[in-house]
Structure 1
Amino acid sequence: MRRIDIDDDEVDIGFDHRLLYAGQPYTGEVVERLAGRPVSLVTYTDGLKDGPYREWYRDGRLRAEGMMHMGFMSGEFKRWHPNGVLAKRMVNSEDGKAPAAEHEWDEEGRPTRSWERTSRDQ
């Protein structure tokens, strides 16, 4: 799969919020680096986030991970606190347009917020 750096001079964001490379909607992976280390790796299709999505803290610990579908979070998406404890778990429909559940924890792993859509919510 083709991969470019977000800081490449040919990268731009179009008026419709699509990622463009050399003036065209981009398909492939986009890496962002800070001090030479990757801090994000995102897959795009026709300029929209579509596929695996990952972020890391500066020390290399995983910060976020999930799947995207045409610009929306799809299925399960997780975020971690800097100490490695799970901070948030979100579940969305496969097309990313309908949230199904969200759970949050503090840095000690204690639940702070939680909800799930029931069939009556639909």
Structure 2
Amino acid sequence: MIRSISTILLLSALFCASCKNYSEDVVDLRQLKQFEGVVYSDSANVPFTGIVVDSVGDTRILYAEYQNGLRNGYAEAWYANGHTKYLGDYYDGKKIGEWKNYYSNGQLKDIGFIGIDGMNIGTSRHYDREGNLTDIRIY
């Protein structure tokens, strides 16, 4: 348990050290291209750094922070009905820290923690579509 807490604190410190203000560079997902897992803007041959958004009509379905062409920072996605689909953080293109996934009806599907090595750590909880706890896993 202490190892898990230490890992979470380390991950938080690493994530915060990589954060920057992206407010000046918000780009629609359709304006980017991807090559070998790295995202580039259409107008440049350098990896993209900034915020990526995507929408269906007037409904935003994606917000993701990128640094050097990789997801790096907060990411959140929504279903077309406006309910949250998932939310969590990335570091160098990999999920890290606390992650929450939701059903399209808005109910929490699962919540858990991912370590810097990409493995689940700590305790994860899983729920059915009505919000009832169905499973607890300890890693």
| TM-score, shorter chain, exceeding 0.5 | yes
Q: Is the 8 A contact 1:69 1:96 kept in 2?
A: no
- Hey, what's the Cα distance between the residues in 2 that align with 1:79 and 1:99? 14
Which structure exhibits the higher relative contact order, with contacts defined as CA atoms closer than 8 Å and separated by 6 or more residues? 2
Q: Aligned-pair distance for 1:23?
A: 2.4
- 2:27 counterpart of 1:7: no
Q: Aligned-pair distance for 1:110?
A: 2.1
| Alignment match, 1:63 | 85
Deviation >6 Å, runs of 4+: none
Instruction: Provide structure 1 residue ranges, at least 5 long, that are not aligned to the other structure.
Output: 118-122
- Hey, what's the Cα distance between the residues in 2 that align with 1:66 and 1:53? 6
Instruction: Provide structure 2 residue ranges, at least 5 long, that are not aligned to the other structure.
Output: 1-21
Q: Kindly indicate which of the two structures has a greater share of residues assigned to helix.
A: 2
Could you say if the C-alpha distance between residues 96 and 55 of structure 1 is closer, same or farther in structure 2, counting changes exceeding 3 Å?
A: farther
Q: Aligned-pair distance for 1:96?
A: 5.2
Q: What TM-score do the two structures reach when normalised by structure 1?
A: 0.84
Q: What TM-score do the two structures reach when normalised by structure 2?
A: 0.74
- Hey, what's the Cα distance between the residues in 2 that align with 1:96 and 1:57? 29
Spell out the pairing of 1:89-104 with structure 2 (5 A cutoff).
89-93=111-115, 95=116, 97-100=118-121, 101-104=123-126
- CA RMSD of the aligned region, Å? 1.4
Residue identity over aligned pairs, in percent, reads 23
Aligned residues: 113
Spell out the pairing of 1:71-110 with structure 2 (5 A cutoff).
71-93=93-115, 95=116, 97-100=118-121, 101-110=123-132
- Hey, what's the Cα distance between the residues in 2 that align with 1:84 and 1:75? 21
Deviations 1:64-121, CA, capped at 9 Å, x for gaps = 111111111111000111221100112112x25231143221101123333111xxxx
- Hey, what's the Cα distance between the residues in 2 that align with 1:96 and 1:23? 29
